[in-house]
Amino acid sequence: MIFKFYSWAQESAFSVTSKVVECDSTVAEVKVCAVALRLMFQIMNWDFQLNKNAVERVKSINVFSSGVKNVAVLLKKSECIFVQPGSSWRDVLISSGHIGWLLGLYGMLRQKFSSDSYWLDSPIAVSARQLIIQLCSLTGTIFPSDNGQMQEHHLVQMLSGIIQWIHPPDIISAAIENGKSESELLDGCRALLYMAILTTPMVFDKLLKSIRSVACPLGTLSLLSSLTCEVVKARMADNTEEETWSWYARDILLDSWTAILQPPDIGKDAELPPECIRASAGVFNLIIESELKDAAVSAFDDGDDSELPQASISAMDERLSSYALLARAAVDVTIPLLTKLFSERFTLLHHGRGTSDPTCTLEELYSLLLITGHVLADEGEGETPLVPEALEAHFVDIVETKHHPVVVLSCSILKFAEQSLDPETRTAFFSPRLMEAVIWFLARWSDTYLMPLEGGRQSNCNPGHDRNCQHESQLSKKALLSFFGEHNQGKLVLDIIVKISMTTLVSYPGEKQLQELTCCQLLPAVVRRKNVCAHLVTLDSWRNLANTFANGRSLFSLTATHQRSLAETLIRSAAGMRNSEAANQYVRDLMGQMTAYLVDISSDSNIKSVAQQPDAILSVSCLLERLRGAARASQPRTQKAIFEMGISVMNPVLTLLEIYKHESAVVYLLLKFVVDWVDGQVVFLEAKDTTVVVTFCMQLLQLYSSHNIGKISLSLSSSLLSEAKTEKYKDLRALLQLLTNLCSKDIVDFSSDSNEAERTDIAQVIYLGLHIVTPLISLELLKYPKLCHDYFALVSHMLEVYPEKIVQLNNEAFAHIVGTLDFGIHHQDTEVVNMCLRSLNALASYHYKERGAGKEGLGSHVAGMMDQDGKLQEGVLCRFLRALLQLLLFEDYSTELVSSAADALLPLILCEQGLYQRLGHELIERQVNPQLKSRLANALHCLTSSNELSSSLDRINSQKFRKNLYAFLVEVRGFLRTM
């Protein structure tokens, strides 16, 4: 059908081509042609096979390159989409001359209306270009398996029509500056992006050389280079900060360079043509010039104090990452260039000290730090990054460590950063903004180069072809990695980094952006590896930082998040201690004064009178955040000291919870500390210690519940009511997480206890906790997605693993859990519904198996009970059998849930066969059509009898019932929902 629509639109456009070319732009045929082209473009954007998911679509592209690039991000950024219509479209799109007609039509109209400055943005011009660009993205089975020859010929044909839109770049750029529309140039850039994505660098460069009619002996890479340089020049000439045409063109062209230069997939030829290396160097040089000019021009602009570090630095990551790829493609040129530029600014700064305004130079250094950071190192993304392969495998002729270009560049920046330690120099040059760039660079750089572990990636040299290459590459790699290693300059650099970190925390009070980079990026980076920690804990600078944190007041000005992160980092460094005793003593020394203060303040007889003072609240909050950070750093080596820390503040926590019951922020901090502490400790605890921890947790839950902390008053205004719900939601999430963490004791247990009699019944404890917490969780609060997920995850786990414990709940607590399950199976979140179905399966299966063994099962909870009005209510299993059948037959749900629903439905039917028979009979009797009535009766019979279904609940029987339910729903759901 799509094919017919396209052919019809194509014929309509073709039928009026002669009239359109001969007449002016106002005739009706022009509108007809424009509409037809627009329809053709829209059809090309329809989903053919794999356009439902961009990532899956990209993975399935059948390009003729030797590998498939991961370009989903590029497509999303540039609003591009691949078209994979299949082999049936080959004749109409490729073999029929359709593309030649389209390119010819646009070319003739373009020439005819060349003097009309508005024609390029006319409907017919825009529609034609959109279709042309989209046809550049053709890929997949529309091309035969001919080693890419037809697809290459197709792209050459497309480029032959598009080249006039973008060549020569300087003339086109000048025309745009004089008032010509930029739309054609931008579309040409998008076409180049498609070609770059769909080809290898070699093939991409060859496309332009295949067009003999173009007076351009160079390849497509040279065209891309000259076009990029011209756009950058136009950007440099534009002094405004507005996103002009050159801004958009630059971003599209950078995407093209990224597609060409990004690291190849496995099996893809990694070699770049020489022209690509030369072009990359030229583009990078001009980009650096442009960035430095922009930095100097913007040096005196007023900054936005509210700007976050992510906005000031990370928001530029995509563009800077493209710059890094360009630089790494030509490292022989670009690394020395960066060293030269940085050294010049550094020298200029000192020579002009006290005699000239350094603002422009400092802003240029800021820009160079960001660019160089991207060039030298990749983002870790959760793992310790390796040295970029382009830097590691290059410079094979450099074997003397200190002369390696990457080492020289790194040392230049480290020397500059070290200048910030001098108070006078810091005051003169190192503004908070510049220090942000310094700290960001050090965090990114140290993660990669500081005391790297042995190994890394293997050399790409083939030893069978070039043994000398492999040997020289290994020598160069050793020279690069050893300079900042453990046995060379690594410890000295580590000391400098710690001193700079201390300076930013103490000498820049109130600079939250800078302190966030220090506490949450730089310092966590230096404690990430144990071999670094081993040297870190021996440094006087680190001991000074730890002592200031433990005993001083200067770091209390840090925000709560930064306090927590710093505490966690300091504790994690204990991994470098020589043994467990030293590590635990380090933790005690670090946290001892803080725990003592909490003990003292909680036992003070005047605590209630001073607790509400702002200073007291601030001190308590800071200490709780620090304790929480320490708890989050729990590891086997320091577990003993962190356990002692928690034990020492148990009573103070309970006391503070009662005192601050109306201070929601403090209550939340208290709860989160306990959650994190239990999470880190519970799996290691012996029986005696487990009892102590569990008792404390129950006291905490009971105290929270007894005071009904976070109670929502209906007398509040709507805004305050919403805020109160949010606060209570956060508290209850923390309590559920606490119970979930206690659950882990039964799942993973590293304690050495062998006496089962001494072990705490964790399941009993969790159900007691649920009994305390669930009355506080209303159906209204379960509308918060995270709380809802945490609640049902815990309930489903407990019902699946310990269903026998639910019998011990009183009627009120049991009814509350049942009510939430009823709410959950009608939830919009598929995962929540699935957890509730698993819970129902567990309840019904437990009751069925227990009754089969002659036991009581769920007992009175299954029987009906009287409500407050004296009416008999159905038992819980009857209630859910009715609700589940209603859901499956008449309501909307995801088909992913049918298997889980079948697993819950089978034991419900086995438990309540009488009700099932009545419900089935009612459904049959409601059918007026005799044929449908017969179909329904037969389907109901097959549901419980076909496939040799038995009355057991083993895995095989459950699988049979799943098949039966699928067949049953296919047979009857359609006509039942239309009743």
pLDDT tens per residue, range 334-345: 999 999 999 999
Angle at 762 between CA 756 and CA 767, to 5 degrees: 145
Q: What is the pLDDT of residue 210?
A: 83
Whole-angstrom distance between the N-terminal and C-terminal Cα of the chain?
Answer: 33
pLDDT tens per residue, range 203-221: 999 998 888 655 456 789 9
What SS3 state is found at 379? coil
Task: Check whether 679 has a pLDDT greater than 80.
Answer: yes
Q: What is the pLDDT of residue 56?
A: 39
H-only helix segments in 458-529:
467-482, 490-507, 512-517, 523-526
Q: 144-148, 467-471, 602-606: which has the minimum mean pLDDT?
A: 467-471
CB 738 within 8 A of CB 693: no
Torsion of CA 171, 176, 179, 181, to 10 degrees: 120
Q: What is the pLDDT of residue 55?
A: 37
Task: Give residue 933's Cα distance to chain centre.
Answer: 52
Task: Check whether 704 has a pLDDT greater than 50.
Answer: yes
Greatest C-alpha distance within the chain:
101
Q: What is the mean pLDDT of residues 831-835?
A: 94
Residue 476: pLDDT band by 50, 70, 90 thresholds?
A: low
Residue type at position 799: L
pLDDT tens per residue, range 892-929: 888 899 999 999 999 999 999 999 999 999 999 988 88
Give 416-469 as a DSSP string. HHHGGGSHHHHHHH--HHHHHHHHHHHHHHHHHHSSPPS--SPP---TTT-HHH
Q: What is the pLDDT of residue 89?
A: 87
Q: What is the mean pLDDT of residues 423-444?
A: 94
Most confident range (mean pLDDT) of 46-50, 299-303, 848-852 is: 848-852
Q: Kindly list the distances between the CA atom of residue 853 and the CA atoms of 717, 850, 861, in Å, as whole numbers in the listed order.
A: 56, 5, 18
pLDDT tens per residue, range 839-848: 999 999 999 9
Q: What is the pLDDT of residue 662?
A: 85
Q: What is the mean pLDDT of residues 297-326?
A: 67
Torsion of CA 682, 685, 690, 694, to 10 degrees: -20
Task: Check whether 269 has a pLDDT greater than 70.
Answer: no
More confident residue, 589 or 751: 589
CA distance 78 to 194: 10
What SS3 state is found at 173? helix
Q: What is the pLDDT of residue 887?
A: 92
Residue 610: pLDDT band by 50, 70, 90 thresholds?
A: confident
Q: Across all residues in the chain, what is the average pLDDT?
A: 85
Residue 728: pLDDT band by 50, 70, 90 thresholds?
A: confident
Task: Check whether 797 has a pLDDT greater than 50.
Answer: yes
CA distance 631 to 643: 9
Q: What is the mean pLDDT of residues 40-52?
A: 69
Q: What is the mean pLDDT of residues 254-274?
A: 73
Residue 75: pLDDT band by 50, 70, 90 thresholds?
A: low
